[in-house]
Structure formats: C-alpha cells, structure tokens
Amino acid sequence: MIPAESLVVRDGRQTRIPAADLVAGDIVQVNLGNKCPADIRIISCSGDLKFDRSVLTGESEPVAATTGKTDPNFMESRNIGMQGTHVVSGSGVGVVIQTGDNTVFGRIAKLSAGGNGGLTTLQKEILHFVVIIATIALSIAILVVVLWAAWLRRSYPGYLSTTQLLINAISVLVAVIPEGLPVSVTLSLTVIAKAMGKSKVLCKSLTTVETLGAVNVLCSDKTGTLTQNKMYVQNAAILDDEYSTSQARAAMIKDNAAREVLQQLHVVAGLCNAAQFDATTLMLPVSERKINGDATDTAILRFAEELDPVMDLTANWRMVFDLPFNSKNKYMVSPQRSLLYQIRMYKVASRTEDVKYIRTALGSCGNDFDNEDILLLKKGAPDLLLPACSAVLSSSGVIPLDDETHARVIRLQEAWASRGQRVLLLARKIIKANSRDIPEHMGFDHALFGETVMDIAMSGLTIIGMVGIVVFYPLLSL
C-alpha cells in the first residue's frame, strides 16, 4: 500500500527518492494515480485534487483537497493527505508532517501487528483448574511422605524403603494430574470449529472458538472489510405496510392499489441515487448486474430495478442539482425536473404516455404538479429526516404526520434496526415554479441554488417509505 518512490523538491530541484527516505519537512508532489508516501499538509493544489481515503476511513466517495484547514480533527481536515491514500484526480504539493509508524496508516499497521492481549478466558480457566489439581496432588504426595516418616517407617521398619517411597509419591502425582486435559480441550475445540466452518465461519485460531462462546453481541464494521461491501434491500414499507423485496415485486404486478404507492417509492429510490448500472451488464439478471457506486446506493438501485426498470425514470426526469450522501449529513438530496419541462424548453411535442408516466409516478400529487415544478427527493437516516417531514404516504394516500403516525414509523424503524438492518427513509417535496423560495433571477446553474435547495429540504417533506438494508456475509473469518 506504500509507494516505492516519491517526487520531492530538494536543493531547489525535483528528484525521485525512495519513500522510506522521506523526512518531516520534505516538499512532496502528488499527481493523478499516485499514492501518498507520507502524511502531508497540502500547500498548493489544482481545483480538482481528490483523495480516495477508503483504505483508512471506508468512505467510498473521494474527498476533495484544499489548502486551508476545514476541520479540527486531523482525519477529517481536507488539507491533509494521508499515507496510503490514492490520488484519483488532480495534482498538488504538500509538506511532509509525519512519516513511517507516526503516520495514521503506520499507527493502524502497528496496532494490527501487535501481540496478543494476554490469556483468553478458556486459558485462564484451564490454568486455574490445573493450579488447583497440582496443589491437591502435591498435598497428597507430601501427606504420603509425612505418614511414612512419622508412622510407617517406625512401626513397620523395612516395609517400604526410601526408593519405593519416592516411586509411590511420584505415582500419586501422576495419577491425580489429568495428562489428557490438553488433548481433550484441543479435540473439543476442533469439533466446534468444524461445525462453525459448515456455517461459513472460518476460525484461524482455536482460541477464537472459546472466545465466541463468551460473546453476547458481535459488532462488525460498515466499511466492507468483512462484508465485501455488498448490501441488499430486504424490506420496504409504505408507512407500516411492510413488504419483502419479492412481495413488493409481486404487488407491482398483481395489486393495482399497492402498485400506486410502490410506484412512488420506486421513483425516489431510482432517482435519488448516485449509483449506475454498468452498461455492459444490462442484459444480465438484476441480481448479477455490476453497479458503479457505494454499497448503500447499489442496494437501493438494485431494489428499484426489481420493481420497475429504472431506465424509464431516467428517461423522464432530469437532475438539476445533487448533494451526495456523506457520513456528516447522513442524507442525499436530488432535485429533479420532468421531461415535460425539457419538451417545453425545446419546443417538442409531448407524448401522451410521457405525461401519463410522470403523473403515475407522482401518485395523488401528480395532479398538482406543473411542468415547470421541481420534484425534490431526499433519502437518509430516519432520525435526521423525520423532523423535516410533515406528511406521510399511506395505502389510502397522503396523510398528515401526527403523533400517532410518527410513532408507527418509529416503531417499524426500531423493529428493523433490532434485526440488524440499516434503515433509510425516502421522502419528497414539490417545489412550485412560482415559489418565492427560488427567485427568478437565481438560475439553476447558480451556486446559490444549491444553498436554497438545502434550506427548502429541511421542512415540509412527505415520507414516501422506508427501506431496510442487510449486509451480505459470504464468509466470516475470525
């Protein structure tokens, strides 16, 4: 993970030196395709310099670099390039501030290569048992010697010689101490390890088996290290009407009432999404297609495709602004404009099926949607999105989000979370073209439009539904 060479400025000229020879204060240049040879502070960079920090933080999206500090946390500040991270675009110059084991990468490597933390629980129990047995054995042997010296040797001289006494004392010691204990413990752990292996749990060390026996809660990372970064939507819900993926797909085909609400969930899941299908795999089944994007968006896009082709959505809507999902905001915002607006702009006649599709996708709100309106879509953590919501979609239409319906949503969210699912809430809001929230002088390519959309997205949302995502564990290696 560490580059062999680095481009530095020494004695006023650029030169390549081994990365191991870098020292604090060296001026290092990084370009597209390079890996940072040390922790560096960016002092100049192109506008498109980005680092892929997934090797350290697990974040799938590249982080844009700046020359100024953006966060007091060293790991979060964008003016820091960390050792081992990949430059995915742009170029920059930085000064080395940490090298070797002092870097973030080095400290993690040092911790992972550290020794064991001491005896395991089973080892402690066996040691305790052996100490007790050894104490008892020694006590009996000493008692035999004392009885021989104080009574037997005097009352029955010649009955037991000193040599025979030593043999008897050693025999007592050997008889009491269980020599088969190590073998029996190893065999029992091996049998358990084989049983776990059939359940796709691979134990590299037998001590892992007894450690798992004392575990009440097993926590896994979210970065894809254990999970191969694969996730799938297991459940979907409209208010608290719960569907599995297969049930939702069947309802879209057979149940007209369910189709009307699931169609709207399909719109938010398909459009408020940063993932895309690889064009070379479109002919494959949905479960086998390759998707470019992070694990969460990939799972939701695959779910949306199983409900209805996402290509129909992208053909009828155009994104006008995008705020990708990140670990700080914990939500994604995607305002969309309909194909009907594009048709009007370019003076092209609209087809009846296009109009019908857009109205159907909006459900009961379709009649209130004008061609120039903006459909604001938002997905993210329920605890952050719920305060911004004022209505919720149910099987009977859109209803106010009062205390009772709010409790129903929270109850379902907690039930899914208790089963280990990652729960995301999908919401929308219609921004009228004549709304005062978006002044006419503010073009949709203007930077202020993004800030305005962010403000609008913080209130008045309608909950369309929730999805429960599970992590795929192909083989858990411990």
* End residue of a domain, out of 78, 93, 112: 112
More reliable by pLDDT, 34 or 128: 128
Are 252 and 388 contained in the same domain?
Answer: yes
Q: Please give the sequence-ordered ranges of beta strands (E in DSSP) within 296-452, or none if there are none.
A: 317-319, 331-338, 374-380, 389-394, 397-400, 422-431
Q: What is the pTM of this model?
A: 0.61
Is 144 part of any domain?
yes
Domain encompassing residue 60: 5-112
Are 432 and 335 contained in the same domain?
Answer: yes
Identity of the residue numbered 339: L
Backbone phi, psi, residue 310, to 5°: -70, -25
* pLDDT of residue 386 exceeding 90: yes
Are 100 and 127 contained in the same domain?
Answer: no
- Supply the pLDDT for residue 114: 66
- Residues in contact with 333: Cβ distance below 8 Å, sequence separation at least 6, in sequence order: 272, 321, 322, 323, 376, 377, 378, 453, 454, 457
Is 56 part of any domain?
yes
* pLDDT of residue 445 exceeding 60: no
pLDDT band at 387 (very low <50, low <70, confident <90, very high): very high
Are 340 and 371 contained in the same domain?
Answer: yes
Are 48 and 129 contained in the same domain?
Answer: no
How many helices and strands, by DSSP H and E, does the chain display?
16, 22
Q: Which range, of 69-83, 152-166, 203-217, averages the lowest pLDDT?
A: 203-217
Mean pLDDT computed over 88-117: 83
Is 219 part of any domain?
no
Mean pLDDT computed over 109-118: 72
Are 76 and 143 contained in the same domain?
Answer: no
CA-closest candidate to residue 375, choices 451, 438, 333, 430: 430
- Supply the pLDDT for residue 450: 65
- Supply the pLDDT for residue 476: 45
pLDDT band at 364 (very low <50, low <70, confident <90, very high): low
Are 275 and 306 contained in the same domain?
Answer: yes
Mean residue pLDDT of the chain comes to 82
Sign of CA dihedral 8, 9, 14, 15: negative
- Supply the pLDDT for residue 441: 44
Quickly tell me which residue has 């940072």 as its tokens. Answer: 36
Q: Is 445 noted as a catalytic residue in this protein?
A: no
Are 464 and 451 contained in the same domain?
Answer: yes
Measured CA to CA, the distance from residue 459 to residue 228 in angstroms comes to 36
- Supply the pLDDT for residue 477: 44
* pLDDT of residue 327 exceeding 70: no
* pLDDT of residue 38 exceeding 60: yes
- Supply the pLDDT for residue 35: 86
- Supply the pLDDT for residue 442: 46
Q: What is the DSSP pairing of strand 50-52 with strand 291-292?
A: unpaired
Is 424 part of any domain?
yes
Is 477 part of any domain?
no
Mean pLDDT computed over 390-395: 90
Total count of domains within the chain? 4
Measured CA to CA, the distance from residue 189 to residue 207 in angstroms comes to 8
Are 204 and 235 contained in the same domain?
Answer: no
Mean pLDDT computed over 136-149: 90
Q: Which range, of 281-295, 385-399, 455-469, averages the lowest pLDDT?
A: 281-295
pLDDT band at 478 (very low <50, low <70, confident <90, very high): very low
* pLDDT of residue 372 exceeding 80: no
Cα 388 to Cα 19, 339, 379, 384, 458: the distances in Å are: 50, 28, 12, 8, 5
- Supply the pLDDT for residue 34: 84
The answer to whether residues 193 and 210 touch, using CB atoms and an 8 Å cutoff, is no
Q: What is the largest CA-CA distance in the chain?
A: 126
Quickly tell me which residue has 């997934």 as its tokens. Answer: 54
Task: Choose, from 21, 71, 221, 312, the residue flagged as catalytic.
Answer: 221
Token pair listed for 459: 């209130």
